[in-house]
Structure 1
Amino acid sequence: MSANEPDSDAAPGALRRVEELINTFSVDTGTDALTDPAALAAWLAERDLLPETVAVSAADLDRARVVREGLRAIVVANNTPASAARKTDDAARTPAALADLAALARELPLVLDPLTTPPTLVPHTPDTPDAALAQLLADVAKSVADGTWSRMKGCRMCEWAYYDYSRNRSRAWCSMALCGNRAKAQAFRDRSR
């Protein structure tokens, strides 16, 4: 469990997997839970995204990290006021992460399964690491369609993903005790200069 883990409940339904994927890397500490292909295989199997018997390669791990960082860029943008200036390293990283995700998403085809009620987007080829990544993107698409995606946010201080359950959707930090206090302290220092 990370020190930056949100102090509220996890994201609902399939969005929880998206939240957990983003949080496999801590921007604050630089620690990555997806250290090698075996770690990715275990992570995907634990979430019923891939059978345990399917091999995962280093290239699959690279693609999973592209999806993770692209989704992180999106959830951070969900929590960035239009008037706020982005940190310099974020401003450089975000467009590249989004471009990389967009390029990869074209290689992870989803198809409509009309036999489900309601019809659902599913990976074109099941039981592959790419199908697992495509399923995560389908989870995002479903969340966009049902209006819950805007509640997926990245902390303004540490970029930890969390689901904003607040009534007015104004939660800014993963944890008021950690990042909220850090932000207030930074704002005080900025005013004191």
Structure 2
Amino acid sequence: MPRFAATERLGTSVAPVTLLLTQELVNSQGPVTYQVDWLVNVTGAQDWLDGVLSDWGSVNPTLTVPGIRLRRPDLERLRTVRDGLHQLLARGEERPFQPEAPQPGPLLDAPLAVRAGPDGVQASPVGTGIGWIASAVALELFRAQEHDLLRRLKLCHNPGCATAFYDRSKNNSRAWHDVATCGNRANVRAYRARQRTTGE
């Protein structure tokens, strides 16, 4: 069973294995209140990445997963890919963009190798280091879009959270990664606001 280290730590709904790397990368930075970021130092980032790539290889047995040794400059590039994913997922939400947030770049430039074989056309990630990771994410996004799964990968509507969760509800209507925490807080805030309005 794949280990979704960052995602499981946040106690949220895990996406299908076709979005393993994408959800994990988004959730490598926890909510603001947690003050946790797995991509702050090389040691923590390497431990996280080794686990994720091991899991990714186990659910993609026909693809070769390279050994990637991170260096300090790689962390900024990896965070840039993560920021691009945040922006991509935010596009599907009914919330305004934050102007200071970086625009997606590396995801749009990530190439894929496409080969025709006896089983049809197959795509695989290419490149080295962070370039390979961006390519693997692009492959996941393409597969998820093709199977109509991408719209179910969402960001929690709590502005201080933004955890990526997979909406398994029948009508794809979930707004919170965890109703007991983020959803409950939002409901309490809305209730208090209504009370203030009616009390005037």
TM-score, normalised to structure 1's length?
A: 0.79
State the AA in 1 paired with 2:36. Answer: T
Partners of 1:179 and 1:55 in 2: CA distance: 36
Partners of 2:25 and 2:118 in 1: CA distance: 26
Higher Rg? 2
Partners of 1:40 and 1:46 in 2: CA distance: 10
Question: How far does residue 152 in structure 1 lie from its aligned partner after superposition?
Answer: 0.3
Given that 1:151 and 1:165 are in contact with CA atoms closer than 8 Å, whether structure 2 keeps it comes out as yes
Given that 2:15 and 2:166 are in contact with CA atoms closer than 8 Å, whether structure 1 keeps it comes out as yes
Determine what percentage of the aligned residue pairs are the same residue: 27
Which shows bigger deviation, 24-33 or 164-173?
24-33
Higher RCO, 1 or 2 (CA under 8 Å, sep at least 6)? Answer: 1
Q: Equivalent residue for 2:171? A: 168
Given that 1:121 and 1:138 are in contact with CA atoms closer than 8 Å, whether structure 2 keeps it comes out as yes
- Secondary structure of the residue aligned to 2:17 is coil
- Out of 100, 112, 115, the position equivalent to 1:113 is 115
- Inter-CA distance 114–40: structure 2 relative to 1 (3 Å threshold): farther
- Secondary structure of the residue aligned to 1:61 is helix
Question: How far does residue 191 in structure 1 lie from its aligned partner after superposition?
Answer: 1.9
Which shows bigger deviation, 156-165 or 15-24?
15-24
1:26 aligns with 2:40: no
- Out of 69, 76, 79, the position equivalent to 1:55 is 69
Which shows bigger deviation, 38-47 or 181-190?
38-47
Q: Equivalent residue for 1:77? A: 91
Q: Deviations over 1:16-56 (max 9, x none)?
A: 2211111110232232012223333332322226544x422
Q: Deviations over 1:55-89 (max 9, x none)?
A: 222222111111112212222332x23xxx53xxx
TM-score, normalised to structure 2's length?
A: 0.76
State the AA in 2 paired with 1:39. Answer: G
- Inter-CA distance 167–63: structure 2 relative to 1 (3 Å threshold): same
Given that 1:151 and 1:169 are in contact with CA atoms closer than 8 Å, whether structure 2 keeps it comes out as yes
- Inter-CA distance 186–113: structure 2 relative to 1 (3 Å threshold): farther
Which shows bigger deviation, 16-25 or 156-165?
16-25
Structure 2: 5+ residue stretches without partners? 1-5, 57-64
Q: Map 1:1-193; keep pairs closer than 5 Å.
A: 4-6=10-12, 8=13, 10-29=14-33, 30-48=35-53, 51-52=66-67, 54-78=68-92, 80-81=93-94, 86=96, 91-93=98-100, 96-97=101-102, 99=103, 101-102=104-105, 104-115=106-117, 117-125=119-127, 127-157=128-158, 158-193=161-196
- Secondary structure of the residue aligned to 2:117 is coil
Partners of 2:186 and 2:16 in 1: CA distance: 27
Q: How many residues align?
A: 177
Which shows bigger deviation, 29-38 or 133-142?
29-38
Q: CA RMSD in A?
A: 2.4
Partners of 1:106 and 1:72 in 2: CA distance: 14
